[in-house]
Chains A and B, each alone.
Chain A
Amino acid sequence: MSAFFSPFISKPEGVSLIMLKVLLALIPGIALYVWFFGSAILISITLASLTALGTEALMLKLRNRPISPFLKDNSALLTAWLLALSIPPLAPWWLVVVGTAFAISISKHLYGGLGNNPFNPAMIGYAVLIISFPLQMTHWITPHGLGQVELGFFDQLDYIFRGILPDGLKLDAVTMATPLDTLKTQLHMYGNINEIMNLPIYGHLAGQGSEWVATGFLLGGLYLLATRLISWHIPVAYLGTLFITAGLFHLADPAHYVTPLFHWFSGAAMIGAFFILTDPVSGPTTHKGKLIFAAGAGFITYLIRVFGGFPDGMAFATLLMNICVPLIDAYTQPKVFGKKGRLSDKNGGQA
C-alpha cells in the first residue's frame, strides 16, 4: 500500500545511499594510506567496522528499536571508518574497539541514536582515546621508504592483536611522531622552520606520505561537492580560515610559523573539512551557520596545533564547535520567501 497522504512519490536516494557514497569518497584517501603506510590501516578499519555494527545492534536491541533499518543506514560504518582513520594504524586492537564502542554507544545511542547526537561520535571516540591512552595514540607508522625496517602485513597483525614485534625489533624503529607533532617538538628544541623542513619526514608540502593521503581525501571531498552530497560552505570556510590564520602568522614570522599549505595537508585538516565537520547531525543547518561553524573550527584547529598541547586540533575544534551549534542555528535563521525585502516587510508580518 502506498502512502496515504501526499506527496505520494519520493526520491529514491535514502540515508543509506548517502552514507554509502560518503564511504566511497573515503576510498582514494584510504588507498593512498595503504600505499604509503602499509595495510595495517585496513585491519583497524575492519576492526572498527565490526565493533561499530555490533555495538549498534546491541544498543538498538537494548533500546528496543528495530535493528535492520538502522544497521543498513551505514551511519555506524562511517563513524567507524572516520575513527579508524584518525588513530594510529598500529594501535592495539582493544584501543580501536574501546574507541568505536564508546563512540557508538555513549555518544550516539545514549543521546537517542541516529539523528540525535549533539557531538560527532567519531571525534568523541578520538577524544576519549587520546585523553585516556595518550601513549598508544602516538605510535604512527613511519611512511614507506623512511624507516629502517618495514613490517609486513602479518607482523602488523601480530602486533595489533598480540602486541608482539618480530625478534629484536623495537617499536620506535617502525613508528614515529606525526609531522605536526615533530614540528612542535623540533621548534622547541631548535626553533627554525627551514631546518626542520629539511628533515626526512617532510615532503613537498607537509609530512612525507601523509601529504598524499590528505590529497586523497581532498579528491574524495571534491567528489562529495560535485555530487552535491555536501555543500561548499563548510569545507571552504574551514580551509579558508585555516589558510588565512596560518598565512597571517607565517607572513609575520616565517621562521617560527609554517606555511598555510603545510597546515592544509597535515593531520586531519582535509578529512576534517570534507568528512568530519560536514556530519549533518552534529553540525548547523543554515548556510550562514555552516560558515560560522566551520570558520570557528578552523581557527580553533590552528590555535590547538600551534599553541596547544595536543598534536592535532581537529577533534577538539569539532567538538567545541558542536557545542555551539544550537546557538548558531538559532541566530542564523534565514529570512523566508517574501519576508526579505523592504516592500514585503511593510505589508508582511506573521500570519
Chain B
Amino acid sequence: MRQLFKFHGGVHPPTHKEQSSQSPIAQAVLPSRLVVPLYQHIGNRAKPAVEVGQRVRKGQIIGMPEGSLSSAVHAPTSGTVAAIDMQQVAHASGMDDLCVTLIPDGQEEWIKREGMDYLSINKADIRFVLRMAGVVGLGGATFPSDQKLRPGKHKIKTVVLNGAECEPYITCDDLLMRERAEEIIQGAEIIRYMLDAEEVLIGIEDNKPEAIAAMRLAVNARPRSASADRMEVIAVPTLYPGGGAKQLIRVLTGIEVAAGVRSTDLGAQCFNVGTAYSIYRAIAHGEPLISRIVTVTGNVAQARNFEVLFGTPAHELVSQAAPLPDTNGYLMGGPMMGIRLPSEQVGIIKATNCIIAMSDVLFPPAPPALPCIRCTRCAEACPAELQPQELYWFAKAKNFDKARKYNLFDCIECGACSYVCPSHIPLVQYYRFAKSEIWDQESNQKAADAARVRHEYHEFREEREKREKAEKLAERDRAAQAAKAQKAAAPPTLPPAGEVANVSPCAAPADADPENTMQLKIQRAIEQAKLQAATTTPKNTEQLTPEQRAQIAAIEARRAHIHELASTSVEASSAMLVEANTEVKSQPPTQSPQE
C-alpha cells in the first residue's frame, strides 16, 4: 500500500455524479453549424488559416498556432467556412472573440491521417505533431501539451495522471477511463517516454470504483517491458479539490507546488487522463483534437456523457439530454469552479468538460451576504492554506499590495472558502477581482516605466540636438570672423575660410588656445559628418516616378497654402522654422555656409 499524503482543508459537496455516470458515452448528433473559437487555449490566439467560403475537411487546420505558446485549431467536421468573425464565446466575460463558423456537409470527410510509432521519431517532432494537432490540457486549464512535454532543467521523477475528477456533477473522465482505459494508458506511456520519468501515478478518487478497476486492468494488461517501469493506479480519498493538479501531486507524491513554481522543477508533472487520451490519438492515429467527452447533466431528463465536436452550440448539445422546462441557465464546468454560459448559442470548446442545466431548485439563489465574522471556516477549508478572511478584507478594501503579501496568488480559486462561508460572501469573486486588478496595475506600471525611459531619452536627445546646433552656429560665426580677419591681413591668393580651417589648423593664430583647438576638432567632426551625409542621399527619394513627383509637388503646394493661411499663428511659424531646418540639412554643406 502506497503512502498517501494529505492536503489541508477541502470540502465535501454533494457529488451528484450517479446522475450522468449510468449510461455509456454517446456520440452527439452532428449540429447544424459549428462556431469554433480560435482562442481555446492558454497562450496566443491561433491565426485563421482558411477563408470564408472555403471547403474544409474534417481535421483540417483552420487556425495556425502563433508564437511558442499556442496551439492549432481544426475543423471538427467537413464542410464550408461560413464566416470568420467575432462571436460570443464560452468565457466568463461573455465577450466576443474571433471564431470560424462552419456549416457541416455531413460527409465527415477526413484529412489524410497518419499514425506513427513514437519510439521511432525524435521528441521535438512529437512535440511539433502535438502542437499542430491542437492537443491541450483537457482538465480545464487548456495549457498546450507540447509545452508541458518539454524537458526542463530538472529530472522528472513522477508523471501524475489526473483522473480524480473532484468537482460535483462531472463524470466525463470517469466514463473515459471506464471505456477507453487502454488508450489512456498508451498516452501515459508516451508522456513518460517524452519526459523520461521514472513512474506514472494515476490518481482516481475512490468514488469511481469502475474507473479504478478498468484502469488497473489496462495497466496490468500491458506487455511487460524490460525497463520494469512503474505505473500504478491509486485510489485517492474523495475530497474536493483533490483533483486540482497541485493537490493531486501533493496527495500522491508529498510535493507541494507553490504559486509561481513549476512542478517540473520539483520533479513532477501532471496530466489529465483526457489529455493522455488525446495525445495517444494524435500520435498513434494522427487524429487532431476535434472533439471531447462532455457531461450533460443537472436539470435534464437524460443526463449522460457525449462525444462532442468543438464548436457545437450548447443548446444543440443540451437538447439531446432533454432539459426540463424550469431550466434557467447553463453552467460550463462544475458548480464549484465553472462559469455561467453567456448564452446557449456559444460553442463547446476544449475546456468544456461539463454542461449543467440550472434551475432554482438545484442551484437556489445565494442568500444575501452578511459581513465576515472571522469564523475562519474558510481558512479551515482552504487547500492552499491561505487566510481567506484576511485576503477578503484586503481585496474588499482594494489594498492589493497587502493582499499580495498574504499570498493572494497562491489561491487556486477552487471556491471551497465561498462554499463553507456562513456569511455567504462571494469570496472567490473578490480574489479574482483583486488578481485581475493587480495584473492590470502591473502592466500599467510596466508601460509607465517604459514611457519614462523613452521620455527621458527624448529629453536627452532634444538637449543634445540643441547643444549641437548651438555649437555649430558658434563655430560658423567664429569661422566667418576668422576668415574676415585673414582676408584683411593676408594676401588675396589664400583659399576660402572653410578650407583654411580644415587643412592648416596648426598655422591658425588661435592654435595656442586649447579651447580653440577643441572647437576646431568639433568643427572637423561636423564637416566630416556633413560630407558623409552628402555622399549618402536618402534612398527613398531617388528614382521617383513622374507620378510620385507630381504627388510631392501637390503636397508641397498644399503645405505652402496652409502655411500662408496660418502664417501669423505660432504653430505655423515654428513649422516654418522646422522647414528651414530640414532644408538646411538636406542640402549639401558646400552651399550652405552663409545661411
Query: What's the minimum C-beta distance from B463 to chain A, rounded to whole angstroms?
Result: 39
| The 4 residue pairs across chains A and B that have the minimum distance between CB atoms | A338-B258, A115-B371, A351-B409, A7-B415
Whether B447 is near chain A, meaning CB under 8 Å from some CB there, is no
Q: Mark A47-76, 1 if CB is under 8 A from B, else 0.
A: 000000000000000000010011001010
Shortest Cβ distance from A339 into B: residue: B258
Query: What's the minimum C-beta distance from B508 to chain A, rounded to whole angstroms?
Result: 66
Shortest Cβ distance from B360 into A: residue: A2
A10-B424, A14-B424, A337-B256 are known contacts. Are A285 and B374 too (CB-CB below 8 A)? yes
Q: Mark A13-39, 1 if CB is under 8 A from B, else 0.
A: 111011000000000000000000000
Question: In the complex, which residues of chain B have a beta carbon less than 8 angstroms from the beta carbon of A11?
Answer: 11, 419-420, 422
Known: A8-B336, A335-B385, A337-B7. 8 other contacts (CB 8 A): A2-B365, A2-B366, A8-B335, A15-B422, A18-B375, A231-B380, A334-B387, A339-B410
23 chain-A/chain-B pairs, Cβ below 8 angstroms: A2-B329, A5-B340, A5-B432, A7-B418, A8-B331, A8-B335, A9-B14, A9-B168, A9-B335, A10-B366, A10-B419, A10-B421, A13-B422, A14-B423, A73-B370, A75-B373, A280-B373, A285-B390, A337-B7, A339-B258, A344-B258, A347-B258, A348-B259
Whether A283 is near chain B, meaning CB under 8 Å from some CB there, is yes
A1-B365, A347-B265 are known contacts. Are A337 and B385 too (CB-CB below 8 A)? yes
> Could you tell me the distance between the alpha carbons of A111 and B518 in the complex, rounded to whole angstroms?
75
In the complex the two chains form, is B422's CB within 8 Å of A14's CB? Answer: yes
In the complex the two chains form, is A337's CB within 8 Å of B383's CB? Answer: yes
> Could you tell me the distance between the alpha carbons of A340 and B8 in the complex, rounded to whole angstroms?
13
Shortest Cβ distance from B258 into A: residue: A338
Question: In the complex, which residues of chain A have a beta carbon less than 8 angstroms from the beta carbon of B385?
Answer: 334-337
In the complex the two chains form, is B266's CB within 8 Å of A285's CB? Answer: no
Find A115's partner among B338, B358, B374, B426 (CB 8 Å cutoff): B374
Q: Mark B392-412, 1 if CB is under 8 A from A, else 0.
A: 000000000000101101100
Question: In the complex, which residues of chain B have a beta carbon less than 8 angstroms from the beta carbon of A73?
Answer: 370
Query: What's the minimum C-beta distance from B261 to chain A, rounded to whole angstroms?
Result: 5
Whether A226 is near chain B, meaning CB under 8 Å from some CB there, is no
Find A347's partner among B168, B261, B390 (CB 8 Å cutoff): B261
In the complex the two chains form, is A344's CB within 8 Å of B419's CB? Answer: no
Query: What's the minimum C-beta distance from B341 to chain A, rounded to whole angstroms?
Result: 12
Shortest Cβ distance from B372 into A: residue: A115
Query: What's the minimum C-beta distance from B323 to chain A, rounded to whole angstroms?
Result: 16
Query: What's the minimum C-beta distance from B403 to chain A, rounded to whole angstroms?
Result: 12
Whether A349 is near chain B, meaning CB under 8 Å from some CB there, is yes
> Could you tell me the distance between the alpha carbons of A338 and B363 in the complex, rounded to whole angstroms?
34
Whether B516 is near chain A, meaning CB under 8 Å from some CB there, is no
Whether B509 is near chain A, meaning CB under 8 Å from some CB there, is no
Q: Mark B235-269, 1 if CB is under 8 A from A, else 0.
A: 00000000000100010000111111100011000
Question: In the complex, which residues of chain A have a beta carbon less than 8 angstroms from the beta carbon of B14?
Answer: 9
- Which residues in chain B, 207-247, are within 8 Å of chain A measured between CB atoms? 246
Q: Mark B355-387, 1 if CB is under 8 A from A, else 0.
A: 000101001111110111111100110011111
Question: In the complex, which residues of chain B have a beta carbon less than 8 angstroms from the beta carbon of A75?
Answer: 373
In the complex the two chains form, is A7's CB within 8 Å of B266's CB? Answer: no
Chain B interface helix/strand/loop/mixed: loop
Question: In the complex, which residues of chain B have a beta carbon less than 8 angstroms from the beta carbon of A70?
Answer: 370
Shortest Cβ distance from B368 into A: residue: A69
- Which residues in chain A, 94-151, are within 8 Å of chain B measured between CB atoms? 112-116
In the complex the two chains form, is B266's CB within 8 Å of A344's CB? Answer: yes
Query: Which residues from chain A sit less than 8 Å from chain B, CB to CB?
Result: 1-11, 13-15, 17-18, 66, 69-70, 73, 75, 112-116, 231, 280-281, 283, 285-286, 329, 333-341, 343-344, 347-351
In the complex the two chains form, is B376's CB within 8 Å of A2's CB? Answer: no
> Could you tell me the distance between the alpha carbons of A112 and B335 in the complex, rounded to whole angstroms?
33
> Could you tell me the distance between the alpha carbons of A6 and B140 in the complex, rounded to whole angstroms?
14
> Could you tell me the distance between the alpha carbons of A43 and B385 in the complex, rounded to whole angstroms?
45
Question: In the complex, which residues of chain B have a beta carbon less than 8 angstroms from the beta carbon of A343?
Answer: 255, 266
Whether B531 is near chain A, meaning CB under 8 Å from some CB there, is no
In the complex the two chains form, is B266's CB within 8 Å of A6's CB? Answer: no
> Could you tell me the distance between the alpha carbons of A15 and B367 in the complex, rounded to whole angstroms?
11
A7-B419, A115-B374, A348-B258 are known contacts. Are A14 and B367 too (CB-CB below 8 A)? yes
> Could you tell me the distance between the alpha carbons of A73 and B373 in the complex, rounded to whole angstroms?
11
Q: Mark B300-342, 1 if CB is under 8 A from A, else 0.
A: 0000000000000000000000000000110101011111100
> Could you tell me the distance between the alpha carbons of A103 and B13 in the complex, rounded to whole angstroms?
38
Whether B389 is near chain A, meaning CB under 8 Å from some CB there, is yes
A2-B360, A3-B363 are known contacts. Are A113 and B374 too (CB-CB below 8 A)? no
A15-B370, A351-B259 are known contacts. Are A9 and B13 too (CB-CB below 8 A)? yes
> Could you tell me the distance between the alpha carbons of A9 and B363 in the complex, rounded to whole angstroms?
6
In the complex the two chains form, is A5's CB within 8 Å of B260's CB? Answer: no
Whether B160 is near chain A, meaning CB under 8 Å from some CB there, is no
Query: What's the minimum C-beta distance from A73 to chain B, rounded to whole angstroms?
Result: 6
Find B261's partner among A66, A69, A329, A338 (CB 8 Å cutoff): A338
A8-B358, A9-B336 are known contacts. Are A337 and B410 too (CB-CB below 8 A)? yes
Shortest Cβ distance from A14 into B: residue: B422
Find B260's partner among A280, A285, A340, A348 (CB 8 Å cutoff): A348
Question: In the complex, which residues of chain B have a beta carbon less than 8 angstroms from the beta carbon of A341?
Answer: 256
In the complex the two chains form, is B363's CB within 8 Å of A2's CB? Answer: yes
In the complex the two chains form, is B366's CB within 8 Å of A3's CB? Answer: yes
> Could you tell me the distance between the alpha carbons of A338 and B256 in the complex, rounded to whole angstroms?
4
> Could you tell me the distance between the alpha carbons of A115 and B372 in the complex, rounded to whole angstroms?
5
Whether B293 is near chain A, meaning CB under 8 Å from some CB there, is no
Shortest Cβ distance from B338 into A: residue: A6
Question: In the complex, which residues of chain B have a beta carbon less than 8 angstroms from the beta carbon of A344?
Answer: 256-258, 261, 266
> Could you tell me the distance between the alpha carbons of A327 and B13 in the complex, rounded to whole angstroms?
35
Find B389's partner among A112, A285, A349, A350 (CB 8 Å cutoff): A285
> Could you tell me the distance between the alpha carbons of A334 and B336 in the complex, rounded to whole angstroms?
26
